[in-house]
Structure 1
Amino acid sequence: MSDEKRPTSDTQPRGMMGQGGRRGMMPGEKPKDFSGTVKRLLAYFKPEMIRLIIVVILTITSVVFTVYAPRILGNATNELFKGIISKQLPAGVTKDQVIAMLKARGQDQFAEMISNMDLVPGAGVDFAAIGKILLTLAVIYLLAALFQWLQQYIMAGVSQRTVYRLRRDVDQKLQRLPLKYYDSHPHGDILSRVTNDVDNIAHTLQQTITQMLSSIVTVIGVLIMMFKISTLLSWISLAVIPVSLVITLLIARQSQKQFIRQWNSTGAVNAHVEEMFTGHNLVKAFNREKDVLERFRQQNEKLYESSFKAQFISGLIHPVINFVNNLNYVAIAVLGGVNVANGVISLGDVQAFIQYSRQFTQPIVQVASIMNVLQSTVASAERVFELLDEEEEVPDVDNPVVLEDVKGNVRFEHVYFSYDPNVPLIEDFNLDVPAGDMIAIVGPTGAGKTTLVNLLMRFYDVNSGRITIDGVDIKQMRRRDLRKIFGMVLQDTWLFSGTIRDNIAYGKENATEEEIIAAAKAAYVDHFVRTLPDGYDTVLTGDATNISQGQRQLITIARAFLADPKILILDEATSSVDTRTEMLIQKAMQNLMKGRTSFVIAHRLSTIREADNIVVMDHGRIVEQGNHKQLMEKKGFYYNLYMSQFMGALVDEAM
């Protein structure tokens, strides 16, 4: 849009509207505030507090049933083991007599084992009792599954509503950001923050919160049951925790760096693809396909390397901790078997304890796996929150002035402005534009022409001085009220995917069919639209390539007609069309400018000869001012510009 100097960065690709700027984090940079980011993310759950409490209750209930199930299964094992041992003992004797007989034979260890068992010699297995236990176990597992399903169902709604609010905040933030943010950030990187990063957060909120909650409750419940069975075996299992935590922290510290690189590389790839897709015609025209592919290959290689390292390093957590847990399992099995043989605990209790040890270490493994996801999510959240923390436009004044009857008098009074404080652009600019006048702004590239438009529309605010409309400082007006006064027709035609009717109607809310057609006729759109098979219902593609450049420009003029602005801005509106189409567009623009204050920025000086006042700019200053005749008679800066174009045209004709 602009040809002036904007804030730039040497490390980022150029975006659609300006030079690429810095992104959220530089590769390898550590999170600025890991815990603060997590707290800020969790703050989005406040509106869901009641549902979260219900989820907690359901989780606790489900875990209680799940934790109690191994103890019941252990009772079934004890019942079966007791029956098998009882069947092997002679019937008609008591357990004490059997123990005495075993000791007399020197089988003291076997005697110790059955001394703690409730045996009935010769009785056999009580399958009815086992059946009741297994039925109870089935009901418990069913209830645990039901509560877990309810927990997941409620949490799905909680997480999606939370992410909905986050997306809403991001979208609203994008509307409040000043134009300089978009000029200094690659569009692909912005899209990556809004889509990839937010989607990554959404996935984590859905999966991680419930897993973390379930893991914590499971650890507490299992720990209680383990200490009830055996204190010694419990302490052996607890020894695994510090080892697992140290391993997790050491690996996670390395993987976090790679996750930051991964998401920054993702943003760079998206920015490159978006930029190359937008300018694919130019890429082909200049035969730069190989360069573009090589640049993509390099950025894709960086993304591959960072993603591979992030997943590989974080993926080490699970197998390493599983190895530690397997060592713990071996220790429990050996010591448990010895205790069963010595009659200290029952076989069913050992079986239950082994299950508990698995349940106890499983949440630790889950947390370790969650760290993999959490590292990536925190990196994404920091990028999103960095966007949310960007400096916004200066707020509108509390008591704004509303111009009821706009005349269109515009004045620039001692205006100073620069995009970069170290590089002055506009200095002590003064201009008085009477209502209804056509003001042409001309000058070489970088003179500050488009910057004046940005200042008029308050896309940027002046550093000092002021701009007034009908004597009112535009800073005393709300931006939306100010921008309703203006209509813009730019060199880059912006049309969205939709019908021609919808694109014209974009200029005025609730426009009637009659108003749309009237605007189309005034802009010479109606004729060519009616030659199309679907007329005004013709659907334009994303870049409107199914109609010509001149037709696209005429539609934007029709949109301006419909808006009926008091002040009109035409920025190089005919620079990219052929001469015949330019004449048609000129007619449409002349009709549009009647009775309106108009600012026309043009490189083709032949198009602004009828302007009431021509402002010639160079390096942010007015170097000449007057109508075409006056400026040509001066034979100064304007004269040289005009003659260079005129002589260039004669040379072209001669050739």
Structure 2
Amino acid sequence: MKIFRALGEVRRFLGAGRSLTWALALAIVSALLTVAVPWLLAQVTNIIFAGALGANLDEGATHDQMVEALRDAGDDRQANIVSAIGATPGVGIDWSLLWTYTAVTLAAFVLAAGARIGGGLILNAAVQRAIRRLRRRVESKLHRMPVTALEGGRRGEVLNAVTVDVDNVATLIGPVFVQLPVVLLTIVGVSAALIWVSGFFAMIAFLTVPISAVAVALILRFARPHVKRQWAAQSSLTAHAEDVYAARDMLSAYDAHRATERQFTAVNSELAHATRTGQTWSGALGPVLTLCNALAFVTVAVLGAFKMLDGAVTLGVLQAVVLYTQQLSSALSELTGTLPTLQSGLVSVGRVREFLARKEEIAPAVDDDPVTPRHGRHRTPPRIVFEDVSFAYTDGPPVLNGVDLVVEPGTTTALVGATGSGKTTLTALVQRFADPTGGRITVDGTDITDLTRSEVRSLMAVVTQDPWLFTGTAGENIDLGAAHGVETADPTVHTLLAALPSGAATEVSGDVETLSAGEKQLITVARALAAQPDILILDEATSAADPRSELLIQRGLESLRHRTTTLIVTHRMSTLAAADEVAVLAGGRIVEQGTAQDLLAAGGEFARIYAE
């Protein structure tokens, strides 16, 4: 019962479209016709056998007279056969009736095959549509989750959930919506046909069903935890591979391959053990059912032969019983063969559902109406004010505690502090990656929580310590933020691009290190300049740049100073010296504020940081 409740949940989770209904209807038609075929073949066999037997009997006697004559002669077995088959002495095969049944049988074969093929094509299309919708939901979920939701986790595990698990769900749709109902209908139909044709043989065939059911239940019960372990280990292996591949340069530099190999071996061994154990239990289903089915088939065949010779059943009935027994065995084998797939698919469904159930961001940017950013050389840079801003992550200690800061229009304010003092968190709040738990942030007097996330972010460009680049060309990466495209971007953008090996056509790859860290940072800064932002956020933007690249970046940023309000997170004294204001954070508060020279002279927290 648990598995049927689970399948009902899957049906609601994935949705059942009209195409699946048609596929199910065609599969049911095919199943019913398949059940009817053995009975039709039995009629064909009886007509042929009765005609062949009747042609060899002497004419001039009726059917009853011939039976009586055979009994008087002591040939009771032949008398029983003639009586059961209904042979008429001297009368051969009824060709008209034979061709009629033959045509009906062939038509049933053709219709069953056509229905099965048509249902399969419809099912395949329906499965792809359902998985496409599921992938769309997953993609939508990724854009609706808070940025902080993926922090601290392993990207490989998320990738596994949204790729491998989604693909594995596809193996579940057909069995859930079509195969399982059809198999159950076939079992019911064949069972009813067996009872109708011969209750005696039906009872023999049914004796193996309880044994098979108990065996299947026990095997699946033992297999399920191993299947769960298999998919958990698969997720860990994907995450490990992603982690190692992303850090391959560092691993080579520290000669840390042995450590990662030990980790890989442990995870790989766990996956192999879970897979081997789970498949061993699941694989036991086939032999157990084959044994039960073989015993039933042999028993039916042997007893059927004696029954036919005694005239208790006709040859056609025996043939139908044998075929129905085979159909019942095949349906039970198909059912049990489907169950491991269902079990594996249900595990993946659970993992995908768990991902889709994660907390979403309130009013995510992906749902916002398109925003047309303000552009033009004569616009006024905004004024940013932090008013008693506090923030704490869920179930965590406060990161910011009553921050008050005014960033005047067109000025550059640098944020300085020890690791964990809240500098990056402050810039994340400005971008509305999260909202303050206390206080507010205003831009030109407007609380940013009164604006949509898209409206807030349309004002900004961001350059971080780790370049945000995608596979493609440098020009394509810059187009992500360009107001009107690379071609019409600020001349400074073209100056930065000229420092790259092939300019805007320089290939950027996430898989192959074709560019230096400084060259990558040039692209991110060029993208920020091309966006023509009102607010520029730099988070250790030049920390990975070489002196030449840093000089180019500084010149590019200088071109924005007169029309941009800038927030900088940095520890470089050369950058701090150029800032209009330096704010020092400690303990979640701003403890000092002023120019770099004044703060050094004051001998406070700022001076202590740079004296270490």
TM-score by length of 1: 0.86
- Of 395, 400, 403, 1:421 maps to 395
Shift of 1:282: 0.3
The yes-or-no answer on 1:498 pairing with 2:466 is no
1:38 matches 2:7: yes
Aligned residue in 2 for 1:170 = 138
SS at match of 1:425: strand
Q: Which amino acid aligns with 1:455?
A: L
Contact 1:525 1:551 in 2 (8 A): no
For 1:180 and 1:552, how far apart are their aligned partners in 2?
Answer: 24
Shift, 1:47, TM fit: 6.2
TM-superposed CA distance for 1:307, in Å, is 1.3
CA distance in 1, matches of 2:482, 2:476: 10
Give the Cα separation in 1 of the matches to 2:311 and 2:468: 84
For 1:298, the equivalent position in structure 2 comes to 266
- Greater Cα shift, 410-419 or 343-352: 410-419
Report the counterpart of residue 253 of structure 1 in structure 2. Answer: 221
1:579 maps to which residue?
547
Q: Distance in 2 between matches of 1:195 and 1:46?
A: 19
| Contact 1:525/1:555 (<8 A) preserved | yes
Say whether residues 1:433 and 2:404 are aligned partners.
no
Mapped contact 1:69–1:140 kept (Cα < 8 A): yes
User: In 1, distance between residues paired with 2:283 and 2:176?
Assistant: 16
Q: Give the C-alpha shift of residue 159 in structure 1.
A: 1.4
Q: Distance in 1 between matches of 2:71 and 2:425?
A: 104
Letter paired with 1:368: T
Counterpart residue number, 1:593: 561
**Partner Cα separation in structure 2 for residue 35 and residue 211 of structure 1:** 14
Distance 1:198 1:625 in 2: 52
> Does the residue aligned with 2:308 lie in a helix, a strand or coil?
helix
Q: Distance in 2 between matches of 1:52 and 1:202?
A: 13
Does residue 1:310 correspond to 2:278, yes or no?
yes
Aligned counterpart for 1:230 among listed residues 194, 198, 216: 198
Q: Partners of 1:143 and 1:543 in 2: how far apart?
A: 53
525, 529, 537: which is aligned to 2:496?
Answer: 525
RMSD over aligned Cα atoms: 2.7
Instruction: State the distance in 1 between where 2:510 and 2:10 align.
Output: 35
- Name the counterpart of 1:197: 165
Q: Cα deviations across residues 603-633 of structure 1 (Å, max 9, x unaligned)?
A: 2223211211111222322232210111111
Tell me the distance in 1 between the aligned counterparts of 2:9 and 2:380: 46
Aligned twin of 1:110: 78
Please name the residue that 1:483 is paired with. Answer: 457
- Cα deviation, 1:398-443, whole Å, max 9, x if unaligned, reads 999x998874222222222223534332222221221222111112
Give the conservation status (yes or no) of the 8 Å contact 1:440–1:600: yes
Residue 142 of structure 1 aligns with which residue? 110
Q: Deviations over 1:37-80 (max 9, x none)?
A: 5334312565623x333223322222222111111222232234
> Cα distance, 1:89 vs. partner?
4.1
How far the C-alpha of 1:154 sits from its partner, in A, is 1.2
AA of the residue aligned to 2:416: V
Which range moves more in the overlay, 344-353 or 545-554? Answer: 545-554
Structure 2 residue 378 is matched with structure 1 residue 409: no
Give yes or no for contact 1:568–1:593 (8 Å, CA) kept in 2. no
User: For the Cα contact (< 8 Å) 2:156–2:238, is it kept in 1?
Assistant: yes
- Residue 390 of structure 1 corresponds to which residue in structure 2? 358
Q: Distance in 1 between matches of 2:147 and 2:486?
A: 33
TM-superposed deviation, 1:198:
0.6
Residues in 2 aligned to 1:73 and 1:34: alpha-carbon distance in whole angstroms: 37
Deviation at 1:209, TM superposition (A): 3.1
CA distance in 2, matches of 1:175, 1:281: 30
Deviation at 1:564, TM superposition (A): 1.0
Q: 1:35 to 1:453 in 2, by over 3 A?
A: farther
The AA in structure 1 aligned to 2:283 is: G
Q: Measured at CA, do residues 114 and 406 of structure 1 come closer, stay the same or move farther in structure 2, by a change above 3 Å?
A: farther
- Identity, in percent, stands at 33
Measured against aligned partners, the alpha-carbon deviations of 1:124-176 in whole angstroms (never above 9, x if no partner) come to 66778656644543332122111111111111111111111111111101100
User: TM-score scaled by structure 2?
Assistant: 0.92
Distance in 2 separating the partners of 1:477 and 1:159 = 41
Corresponding residue to 1:451 among 425, 440, 443: 425
CA offsets, 1:243-302, max 9 Å, x none?
Answer: 332222222122221111111111111111001111100010000001111101110111
Greater mean deviation of Cα atoms: 419-428 or 433-442: 419-428
User: Which runs of 5 or more residues in structure 2 are unaligned?
Assistant: none
What is the alpha-carbon distance in structure 2 between the residues aligned to residue 163 and residue 578 of structure 1? Answer: 47
Tell me how far apart the structure 2 counterparts of residues 52 and 268 of structure 1 sit (CA, whole Å).
34
Residue in structure 1 matched with residue 349 of structure 2 by the alignment: 381
In 1, are the aligned partners of 2:471 and 2:509 still within 8 Å (CA)?
Answer: yes
Q: Please tell me whether residue 214 in structure 1 is matched to residue 187 in structure 2.
A: no
Q: Indicate conservation of the 8 Å contact 2:51/2:94, yes or no.
A: yes
Distance 2:486 2:350 in 1: 47
For structure 1, the residue ranges without an aligned partner over 5 or more in a row are: 1-32, 645-655
Q: Which amino acid aligns with 1:42?
A: R
| In the alignment, structure 1 residue 555 sits paired with structure 2 residue 528 | no
Contact 1:208 1:370 in 2 (8 A): no
SS at match of 2:559: helix
2:298 and 2:350 mapped to 1: Cα distance?
43
Partner residue in 2 for 1:618: 586
Structure 1 residue 211, shift from structure 2 partner: 1.6
Deviations 1:68-100 (A, max 9, x none): 111122223223433454455455554444433
Which of 585, 608, 611 in structure 2 is aligned with 1:640?
608
Contact in 1 for aligned 2:364/2:453 (Cα 8 Å) = yes
User: Secondary structure of 1:594's partner?
Assistant: helix
- Which one is further off, 174-183 or 95-104? 95-104
Write the letter of the residue equivalent to 1:416.
S
